[in-house]
Structure 1
Amino acid sequence: MTDPFTLAMVAIVALSIAGIPVGLAMMSGSFLYLILSGFDPSIASEQLLQGLFNGYTLLAIPLFILAADIMNIGSLADRLLRFCQALVGRFRGGLGHVNVFSSVIFSGMSGSAVADAVGMGKIIINMMTKDGKYPPSYAAAITAATATIGPIIPPSIPMVLYALVSDQSVGYLFAAGMAPGLLMAAVMAFMNWVMARRRGFPVDEAVPLRELPKITWEALPALMLPVILLGGIYGGIVTPTEAAAVAAAYALVISVLLYRSVTFRAFWETLISGARSAGAIGVLIGGSLTFNYVITREDVPNALAAFLQGMDLSQTGFLIAINILILLLGCILEGGAILLIVVPILIPAVQAMGIDLVHFGVIVVVNAMLGLITPPYGLLLFITASITRQPMGAIVRDIWPFIVALLVALGIITFVPDFVLFLPRLLGYQG
């Protein structure tokens, strides 16, 4: 007779393939396991409630989503793009550089790759494709690629999810993402420069330097948001969750009172949209909390740790294997599912190999973001394809150079831990 754990896994996979949300599939599989194993099914509810009751940090997720949505309906994105264009638009492939630079700035506000692609992405794609300056497929590809910076530079919703399963400090994880995020931006800017020279992309008309102070002044309230956000966290004034609330409130105040660009109807629709997004993530978290009880009962993490130790891998070999595993999983699984299902199983093995958990968190999140631009799942590819109405094949052909550049950055992030941990250590991290 097949054991309950195997049947539960089969049920989760089958339901997911059938189109059931992964969170609901995990809940259903967990209930099946408890019933077949003779446990009280109410244990699942108990695990769910305990996990949410102790997960104060999780409140940051809907608040960061709300902040990003408010910035998208206000004129913040337009002002930020004008600022970026004034700074880097004058170079060869200038609007591509604007795309990269604007993602770096917006990532310090939203914490979400999807918010970056949907909000700033729509505007910059229209700018790039206007008058045939750039092929729509290239505009879609670079927009999808640069959106992966969003959850790496703090704040970061995936980092919050990783903190939940690894019991690490959100503040230190945020700090650890800063240098890797800037590295990702640098390699993509370099690749855009190479592609611009190879394909003869235009040099845009330079914004006169005398206009730069005015453009900077108009964008300053928006530019101050990351400063307030990160300054509050690392200054010990607010927790990451409180910082998310401050970000949402600040975005609303400057959009309504200063820029006067948000109507009540638009704000109401934003609340509804944000609630739906937060609810979808909440279902995924709920499913992971119940399923994690199942894998703990089955002692899967320790069994996997023993198996990997038995393979006698070096730390370098182990990290290569983990990168390959998560990159492959990213082709078929959503990033949140990887963080909440796969990572808890790997953590005991990571600790046994002597790998720092904050460093490992950055590796995992970068891998998960790469999954957003790799087929067949590639959520960011689908988003930019819907914006540009370009065939997926054309976008995939144009995004491969950026994937290669990001893989180079991933190698540095993986094998030079001091590069990742330098800033957290300056802030007091002992790892």
Structure 2
Amino acid sequence: MSISYFWVFILLLTAGTPVVFALLIGPGVSLMLDGNEVFFSALLTRLYSGMNSFPLMAVPFFILAGELMNQGGITQSIVRFSQTLIGHYRGGLAQVNILSSVLFAGLSGSAVADTSALGKMLIPAMEENGYSRRFAAAVTAASSVIGPIIPPSGIMILYAFIMNVSVAGMFLAGITPGLLICAGLMIVTSRISKKRNYPVANQKATWYERGSALKTSFLPLLTPVILLGGIVLGVFTPTEAAAAAAGYALIVTLFVTNTLKFDKLPHILVNAAVQSGTILLLVGSAVTFAWIITVSGMADMLAEQIVGITDNVLLLLLIINLFLFAIGMFLDAGPAILILGPVLAPIFISLGIDPLHFAVIMCVNLTVGLATPPMGLVLFVAASVSGEKTENIAYEMLPFLAVEALVIFIITYFPAVTMTLPRLFGFA
């Protein structure tokens, strides 16, 4: 098969065709041009087999758990708890925004959900307390990228599925990078807040107030602990853990916190089904595309080209990071991982890079791209929620993006940062 499918795919993407259709139409057109229409059935078979996977069932369950927590009003309790911990520092509301993103990450695993849920609550509150709207939106967007890095992470599940990497190992490997980004964002926020004289809360919360806030948010915050602990200890498979998380979220929001009403369930289920259907179709089409790349020999050609640049692995890692960062500016993390993972990962694994290490590099890099102009999805969500211009938010985000780029550098060239926890638990 010729590689004309690749150029058709690029042309379709450039024309604004949805990624799913570009992934399928490209190979289809190539088969027609080569006179191999007989292989259309093979494409459809690959599409179906790509979606027909038990491990992949974790995705809709995780999405459902996130929807239940989000619609169940858990956001307010998380923000309140964060505020009792660090709200008394200068720039406290901005710091609360970042810490809430970390805590919310363990419930939703979605940068978009994080930006939307926390942005609707905290951006107006920050503006009322003297923060500029663009700064409030920038903090929200920058911290939201922690969502897909700290477990549970939808994009890590996708990568683990398509590259046959341990989900538990990836979850453990994502914890430290997520916390590093959190710490870096807090340091930058503190410096900016002091420079601009952003406000301090009137008084420090008492331990009683902290305990009260923890009490209301404790059960929701147990979700990632139960989920990750169950997977690591071998109690659950990732799919079973996702189902358990969804069931736990349903029980907590409906019967314990009473923040979710039964009449909201149909809407939540429809939302989860639509998101799941979109992702599963994307996975199926990406698996098909990856198969085409392999049988056409393009993967081998690309490997030769990359290795031919230099035999220095450290330099190749720098080049691939720059490439992924650029890709992240224009392509969402999920599709990028599904398309590029099968192409790039084998190259670097053959050069001696641990599969789990490269997986985290790729996931973190592309996740940061969600907040990177010109096409960063969370930028548009933050702009929509705040009413601020996208370019103003992007400019305000530059110091935060510098921090996130530094974390990418650290996890790339200091593998122990990401690999210590997986090795400690026997997943690497």
Q: If the TM-score is normalised by the length of the shorter chain, which range does it land in?
A: over 0.9
Query: Do the aligned residues in 1 keep the contact of 2:107 with 2:221 (CA within 8 Å)?
Result: no
Give the Cα–Cα distance (whole angstroms) in 2 for the partners of residues 50 and 79 of structure 1. 41
Query: How far did residue 4 of structure 1 move?
Result: 4.1
Q: Which of 104, 110, 113 pairs up with 1:112?
A: 110
Aligned to 2:13: 16
Aligned to 1:355: 353
Aligned to 1:133: 130
Q: Structure 2: where are the runs of 5+ without partners?
A: none
The superposition leaves residues 282-303 of structure 1 with CA deviations (integer Å, 9 ceiling, x where unpaired) of 2211221111121011122222
Q: Which of 414, 418, 421 pairs up with 2:419?
A: 421
State whether structure 2 residue 28 is matched by structure 1 residue 31: yes
State whether structure 2 residue 100 is matched by structure 1 residue 102: yes
Paired AA for residue 198 in structure 1: K
SS at match of 1:331: helix
Could you tell which deviates more after superposition, 203-212 or 250-259?
Answer: 203-212
Paired AA for residue 161 in structure 2: L
Aligned to 1:283: 281
Q: Which of 49, 70, 73 pairs up with 1:72?
A: 70
Q: Structure 1: where are the runs of 5+ without partners?
A: none
Query: Do the aligned residues in 2 keep the contact of 1:48 with 1:289 (CA within 8 Å)?
Result: yes
> Percent of counterpart pairs with the same letter?
38
State whether structure 2 residue 26 is matched by structure 1 residue 40: no
Query: Do the aligned residues in 2 keep the contact of 1:67 with 1:248 (CA within 8 Å)?
Result: yes
Aligned to 1:181: 178
Give the Cα–Cα distance (whole angstroms) in 2 for the partners of residues 66 and 120 of structure 1. 18
Aligned to 2:51: 52
Give the Cα–Cα distance (whole angstroms) in 1 for the partners of residues 373 and 278 of structure 2. 22
Give the Cα–Cα distance (whole angstroms) in 1 for the partners of residues 76 and 23 of structure 2. 41
Give the Cα–Cα distance (whole angstroms) in 1 for the partners of residues 57 and 322 of structure 2. 32
Aligned to 1:192: 189
Query: How far did residue 10 of structure 1 move?
Result: 3.0
Give the Cα–Cα distance (whole angstroms) in 2 for the partners of residues 423 and 132 of structure 1. 40
SS at match of 2:371: coil
SS at match of 1:249: helix
Aligned to 2:385: 387
The superposition leaves residues 376-418 of structure 1 with CA deviations (integer Å, 9 ceiling, x where unpaired) of 1110000010001101121111111100011111111110001
SS at match of 1:98: helix
Give the Cα–Cα distance (whole angstroms) in 1 for the partners of residues 160 and 299 of structure 2. 17
Paired AA for residue 337 in structure 1: P
SS at match of 1:92: coil
Aligned to 2:395: 397
The superposition leaves residues 319-347 of structure 1 with CA deviations (integer Å, 9 ceiling, x where unpaired) of 00110000011111111121011121112
Aligned to 2:295: 297
Query: Do the aligned residues in 2 keep the contact of 1:301 with 1:348 (CA within 8 Å)?
Result: no
Give the Cα–Cα distance (whole angstroms) in 2 for the partners of residues 384 and 178 of structure 1. 24
Give the Cα–Cα distance (whole angstroms) in 1 for the partners of residues 374 and 277 of structure 2. 25
Query: Do the aligned residues in 1 keep the contact of 2:107 with 2:220 (CA within 8 Å)?
Result: no
Q: 1:307 to 1:18 in 2, by over 3 A?
A: closer
Aligned to 1:377: 375
Give the Cα–Cα distance (whole angstroms) in 1 for the partners of residues 174 and 277 of structure 2. 26
Give the Cα–Cα distance (whole angstroms) in 1 for the partners of residues 308 and 225 of structure 2. 47
Q: Which of 260, 263, 266 pairs up with 1:262?
A: 260
Query: How far did residue 132 of structure 1 move?
Result: 4.2
Query: Do the aligned residues in 2 keep the contact of 1:302 with 1:348 (CA within 8 Å)?
Result: no
Paired AA for residue 259 in structure 1: T
Aligned to 1:241: 239
Query: Do the aligned residues in 1 keep the contact of 2:2 with 2:296 (CA within 8 Å)?
Result: no
The superposition leaves residues 53-87 of structure 1 with CA deviations (integer Å, 9 ceiling, x where unpaired) of 3x322111111111111111112111111111000
Paired AA for residue 190 in structure 2: W
Give the Cα–Cα distance (whole angstroms) in 1 for the partners of residues 190 and 129 of structure 2. 18
Give the Cα–Cα distance (whole angstroms) in 2 for the partners of residues 87 and 370 of structure 1. 27
Give the Cα–Cα distance (whole angstroms) in 2 for the partners of residues 255 and 327 of structure 1. 38
SS at match of 1:50: helix
Query: How far did residue 309 of structure 1 move?
Result: 2.4
Query: Do the aligned residues in 2 keep the contact of 1:229 with 1:243 (CA within 8 Å)?
Result: yes
Give the Cα–Cα distance (whole angstroms) in 1 for the partners of residues 130 and 205 of structure 2. 17
Query: Do the aligned residues in 2 keep the contact of 1:301 with 1:347 (CA within 8 Å)?
Result: no
Give the Cα–Cα distance (whole angstroms) in 2 for the partners of residues 176 and 367 of structure 1. 14
Could you tell which deviates more after superposition, 178-187 or 273-282?
Answer: 273-282
Give the Cα–Cα distance (whole angstroms) in 2 for the partners of residues 113 and 253 of structure 1. 24
Paired AA for residue 229 in structure 1: L
Query: Do the aligned residues in 1 keep the contact of 2:177 with 2:411 (CA within 8 Å)?
Result: yes
- Number of equivalences: 425
Paired AA for residue 258 in structure 1: V
Give the Cα–Cα distance (whole angstroms) in 2 for the partners of residues 410 and 374 of structure 1. 14
After TM superposition, the score normalised by the length of structure 1 is: 0.95
Query: Do the aligned residues in 2 keep the contact of 1:33 with 1:294 (CA within 8 Å)?
Result: no
